[in-house]
C-alpha cells in the first residue's frame, strides 16, 4: 500500500524547496485522502498542525537552518519508511489526572491529563 501524504510548508525558501522536492517524489494528497500530514518548517508549523490541523497522524520535518527540536530533519529518500517506523513505536508516558479545587474547597476532577 502506498502511503498518501499531504505536505504543508512554511513560507521560508528552504521549506518551499523541500516541499517541491517531496511533492515531486511522492505526490500531493488532498486532506481527505491523506494517510498523514507532513508539515515542513520549524517548531511553529509543527505545533500549529498538531493543535489546529486535521485528526490525522503528523510527521513534522524541519528545513535546513531551522533550530527547532520537535521535527525530524528533511530527508527526501525513504520518507514512507521513516513515517512507518515512527508510527509503529508505542510510547508509555506517566500521566496523572488534574485535580482542581473550587473556591468552596471541594475537589473537582477533570478529564484532562497532564504529562509528568
Q: Point out the residues that are catalytic.
A: 43
Burial class (CB in 10 A: 0-12, 13-18, 19+), 5: buried
* CB atoms near residue 87 (< 10 Å): 13
Q: Looking up cell 527526501, which residue turns up?
A: 76
Q: Do 9 and 18 form a contact (C-beta atoms < 8 A)?
A: yes
Amino acid at each position: 500500500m502506498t502511503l498518501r501524504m499531504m505536505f504543508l510548508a512554511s513560507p521560508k525558501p528552504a521549506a518551499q524547496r523541500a516541499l517541491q522536492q517531496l511533492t515531486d517524489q511522492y505526490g500531493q494528497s488532498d486532506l481527505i485522502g491523506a494517510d498523514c500530514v507532513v508539515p515542513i518548517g520549524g517548531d511553529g508549523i509543527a505545533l500549529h498542525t498538531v493543535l489546529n490541523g486535521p485528526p490525522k497522524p503528523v510527521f513534522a520535518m524541519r528545513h535546513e537552518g531551522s533550530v527547532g527540536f520537535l521535527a525530524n530533519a528533511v530527508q527526501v529518500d525513504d520518507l514512507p519508511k521513516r513515517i512507518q517506523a515512527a508510527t509503529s513505536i508505542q510510547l508509555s508516558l506517566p500521566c496523572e489526572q488534574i485535580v482542581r479545587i473550587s473556591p468552596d474547597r471541594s475537589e473537582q476532577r477533570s478529564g484532562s491529563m497532564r504529562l509528568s
